[in-house]
Structure formats: structure tokens, C-alpha cells
């Protein structure tokens, strides 16, 4: 009897750990009477389920290898099976949190691509794979100290300990100031409760630097760069602050820019109403004619009305806001 050579059409899964041992389902035709299944040169233990299906146990290996089936009809075509190294978990930040769970934990290590599970002890966590070296997970509820692991097609990582604490989560009640330049770099004082042990402060997703814990009710940080209005959160071993409590909002203000002064001349006695045109003027907090401050009103994001103070000669007019100091335009006293 002439027997056609087997044809291999699918492998599920198409990858697995270098240690082998996982079950791989081979699909195709002509599997009856199969005498060998090979992963590269290594023979696999297998069961012929039907003429179109084989279940094989992957042997140990590395890299990408061709999988073949041999029957009395010959040896099939090869399909690629890839051996994936097991992930390695290096650190957790933070390494502790409230028993209620819910705080964000950043896992760092290697081999996270394709992760299918992150576990805190036996409990599965919701997570996002940021890159091959970083995962952000939401800690599930728990108690005591538990091993955290990452599972990928390459296997399950080593474990790093995460400790559940009964420390209350921080609350954030206010900021000073609530505004700053888009370049960041200014000092922001954060008021709240349970701030002792602060491990991180974020302006939305951007981490603040130079965290100084003044006391359980106050910390100072250096704001990162950003845009628009963002929520500031504080993370301690007790968890992360709730954005729905207090006033944790911080607004990034562009640097003001001036385009014209109308009029740009006036008497030395001052008292002239000057319209200052420009952009990003909403948060104007000072107007200067030279070094002399002027009375003003910010009408819109593009108009400020100012009353010229007394002066002599030609002086630079500038506007200051939380976004910085504007360019200058010349105003002449007659």
C-alpha cells in the first residue's frame, strides 16, 4: 500500500518555554501510523488523536525549530516552533500596598512580551504590558506577604515579594500653587493626610521629582513638564490617593506672548488705559511698565487692559503669569 506523506498545517501554541513540557496540538492530514514527531532534531512524546490531529509534548530546546511528523508515507513539511526564555522579574514599585488592593504597581524585568498572567499570590491582577521590560499591574485585594509572578509563553518568572499593609491610603486635599509652566521645574506643595512614606507623586502619568516629606500632612515636589489640566496623585505604602477627594488639579500654563500695545505712548503722569494684545494671557498675575507694576484686568486669553503708571522715556512692558514672563513691547512716555 502506497501511503501519502503527512501534511502539517498548524501548531497550537507555536511557542513555549525552553524547558519544554507544554502540550502542542498539531493539525494536518495523513497522521495515521505516525512513528515520530520531532522538534528540530529532538523527538517528542506524542499521541495520535486522529488522522488529522496529534498532541505532542514539546521537548526542551532553544531558538526556532521546525516541527515535523514522520509516518510510513514519509516526513511532513516543517512548521516553526519558537522556544521563549522564561521572564525574569527584578523589582516591584511600590513593593507594598493596602489590603483592599487597587494601587498601581510597576513591575520591571525582562521577557514580558506576550505575558498572559500576573499573579499576587494565587490572585490574578489586571495588567498592561508597557514593554518587554515593564508591566503596570493593579494589585488585587490580599493580606500578608505574597509572591508576585509573571507568566508568558516562556513560563513563569521568579517571584518578588509584595506586602499588604493596613496603613491608610493617602488623601490629597490641596496644592500650592495650582498653576505652573509647561516646562515644569517649579516647586509644588501638596497638602493632605497620611503622606508619610510617600514613594511617588504623579502629575497624570508623569512622575514628579525631588519629593520631600515635610510631615504627614505636607510634601513638596518638583513638577514635571506637561500640558493642560492634570490630576496629581500621591502613592504611599497605603495606596494611591483618590482623585475624587480634595482639589488635586494642576494646570500647565503656556508662557504669555505679547503682540501689540494700543496706544503705545502716553503722558509721563500715567493714567492711560492701554490694551495689551497677545496670547496665553488668561492667568496674568502682574503687568510691568519697566520695573513699575501696573493696575490691570485680564479680559480674555488675548487681551489685558492696563493703566499706565507714571514714568519717563521708553520702557519695556511685560506680563507675568504662572507660565513665565512674556516678551517685552516698548511703551513711550511723552
Q: Give the tens place of pLDDT for each residue, 254-278.
A: 999 999 999 999 999 999 999 999 9
In this predicted structure, which of 1-5, 299-303, 309-313 has the lowest mean pLDDT?
1-5
Q: Where along the chain do the CATH 2.60.40.10 domains lie?
A: 7-84, 88-165, 171-253, 257-333
pLDDT in tens, 71-123: 999 999 999 999 999 999 999 988 888 888 888 899 999 999 999 999 999 99
Q: CA separation (Å) from 291 to 89, 98, 106, 136, 286? A: 58, 53, 49, 51, 11
Is pLDDT above 90 for 169? no
Classify 257-333 by CATH class. Answer: mainly beta
CATH topology of domain 171-253: Immunoglobulin-like (2.60.40)
Please answer whether residues 283 and 323 qualify as being in contact, where contact means their C-beta atoms are separated by less than 8 angstroms: yes
pLDDT band at 279 (very low <50, low <70, confident <90, very high): very high
What pLDDT, on the 0 to 100 scale, is given for residue 103? 83
Classify 7-84 by CATH class. Answer: mainly beta
Instruction: With H, G, I as helix, E, B as strand and everything else as coil, classify residue 269.
Output: coil
Mean pLDDT of the chain: 94
CATH topology of domain 88-165: Immunoglobulin-like (2.60.40)
Amino acid at each position: 500500500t502506497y501511503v501519502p506523506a503527512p501534511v502539517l498545517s498548524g501548531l497550537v501554541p507555536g511557542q513555549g518555554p525552553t524547558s519544554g513540557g507544554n502540550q502542542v496540538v498539531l493539525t494536518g492530514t495523513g497522521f495515521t501510523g505516525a512513528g515520530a514527531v520531532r522538534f528540530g532534531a529532538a523527538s517528542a512524546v506524542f499521541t495520535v488523536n486522529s488522522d488529522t490531529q496529534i498532541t505532542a509534548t514539546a521537548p526542551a530546546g532553544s531558538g526556532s525549530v521546525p516541527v515535523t511528523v514522520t509516518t510510513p508515507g514519509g516526513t511532513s513539511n516543517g512548521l516553526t516552533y519558537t522556544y521563549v526564555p522564561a521572564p525574569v522579574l527584578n523589582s516591584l514599585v511600590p513593593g507594598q500596598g493596602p489590603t483592599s488592593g487597587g494601587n498601581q504597581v510597576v513591575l520591571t524585568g525582562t521577557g514580558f512580551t506576550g505575558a498572559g498572567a500576573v499573579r499576587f499570590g494565587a490572585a490574578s491582577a489586571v495588567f498592561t504590558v508597557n514593554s518587554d521590560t515593564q508591566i503596570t499591574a493593579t494589585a488585587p485585594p490580599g493580606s500578608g506577604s505574597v509572591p508576585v509572578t509573571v507568566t508568558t509563553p516562556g513560563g513563569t518568572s521568579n517571584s518578588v515579594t509584595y506586602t499588604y499593609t493596613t496603613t491608610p491610603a493617602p488623601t490629597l486635599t490641596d496644592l500650592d500653587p495650582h498653576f505652573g509652566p509647561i516646562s515644569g521645574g517649579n516647586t509644588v506643595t501638596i497638602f493632605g493626610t497620611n503622606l508619610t512614606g510617600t514613594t511617588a507623586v504623579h502629575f497624570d502619568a508623569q512622575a514628579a521629582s525631588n519629593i520631600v516629606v515635610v510631615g504627614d500632612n505636607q510634601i513638596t515636589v518638583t513638577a514635571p513638564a506637561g500640558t493642560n489640566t492634570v490630576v496629581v496623585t500621591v502613592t504611599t505604602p497605603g495606596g494611591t490617593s483618590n482623585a475624587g477627594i480634595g482639589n488635586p488639579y494642576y494646570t500647565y500654563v503656556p508662557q504669555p506672548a505679547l503682540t501689540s500695545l494700543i496706544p503705545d505712548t502716553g503722558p509721563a503722569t500715567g493714567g492711560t488705559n492701554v490694551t495689551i494684545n497677545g496670547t496665553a494671557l488668561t492667568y496674568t498675575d502682574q503687568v510691568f511698565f519697566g520695573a513699575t507694576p501696573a493696575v490691570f484686568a485680564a479680559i480674555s486669553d488675548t487681551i489685558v487692559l492696563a493703566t499706565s503708571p507714571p514714568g519717563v522715556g521708553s520702557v519695556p512692558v511685560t506680563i507675568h503669569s504662572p507660565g513665565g514672563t512674556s516678551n517685552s513691547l516698548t511703551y513711550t512716555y511723552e
